[in-house]
Chains A and B, each alone.
Chain A
Amino acid sequence: MKFGVVTFPGSNCDYDSYMVIKDQLKKDVEFIWHKDSDVSGLDCIILPGGFSYGDYLRTGAIARYSPVMGSVIEYANNGGLVIGICNGFQILLECGLLPGAMLRNRSLQFICKHVYLRCDNNETPFSNRLNVGDVLKIPIAHTDGNYYWYQADLEELECNRQIVFRYCTATGEVTDKANPNGSVNNIAGICNKTRNVFGMMPHPERASEALLGSADGLGIFQSIVAYAASGVTA
């Protein structure tokens, strides 16, 4: 199995993601430069965190028109696995692979801290190694992570079980106090209807070994590997 990590100008979590795949999962991984458009031979594409193109205009708004994204969109539309982390999630929203948009955090502040996430759906390629109700401790680091989607469409998102992670307390309660940025319904991570595209604001690649304070994020990457090994396509 082979992963690809896209590097945009301003990506700063591409190496973190690369190292998790290579050192923790012991899987093949290569970088994909934003000007390249060849994504053949990959089993999963990671859009990493950072500040692509300086996040000028809006987060992810410029990156979504970079040459590589045309190939990523085609790859996703053909059922390929794509995970967007933080800025990667913002890019997936901007290009329409995932529904919704990001607003500025309700505090208007850049927030960098560990938060708790509750797994609400483990029947996805990105969460199959978790149990529903599992609480993961994973850091966030963003200014624009206040997920927004129309009320009527949120119900559809809920019905389709597209909400994979929600911000919660250490004991798994989904409360307003545990919501760091104001996201509707405490949404921290969602997938598309067909389950092959997934985005989350917290950084599992920064929480994939105990030395970094938490290894709770590793389960997400292990899920992708388990899914690919099962040979089922999304």
Chain B
Amino acid sequence: MSQKSKKVVCHISLKDGVLDPQGVTIRNALAQLGFDDVVEVRSGKVFELTFKPEVTNDVRAKSEEICRRVLANPVIETFGVEES
């Protein structure tokens, strides 16, 4: 029986306090559309990693290392990983 590939979703978001010009612009657009109960929008990125079917161990640790080294810039961003 073939093993199902593990998938991990990585969420990258800007650290608190880091200016987010995209978020500000989106919030202003929402207000214009009448969604004026939204006070703040923070933008981010989502990456879905699919591992080789034979990889079953350390998927979380590997994903965290990928986030730390590549997907996120630790100066301005934080990340979270979620196994699906």
Contact = CB atoms under 8 A, between A and B. Distances in A.
Q: Does B bind A?
A: yes
A103 B21 contact: yes
B75 A182 contact: no
B5 interface: no
A169 B75 CA distance: 30
B39 interface: no
A148 to B, nearest CB: 6
Q: Is the interface of B mostly helix, strand, loop or mixed?
A: loop
Interface in B1-53: 18-22, 25
B19 A103 contact: yes
Interface residues of B, number: 11
Interface residues of A, number: 18
B55 to A, nearest CB: 21
B25 A94 contact: no
Contact of B18 (A93, A94, A108, A148): A148
Contacts of A19: none
- Across the A-B interface, the 9 shortest Cβ-Cβ residue pairs: A101-B75, A101-B76, A104-B21, A106-B21, A108-B21, A101-B73, A58-B73, A108-B25, A103-B19
Interface of A: 57-58, 61, 65, 93-94, 100-101, 103-108, 146, 148-149, 182
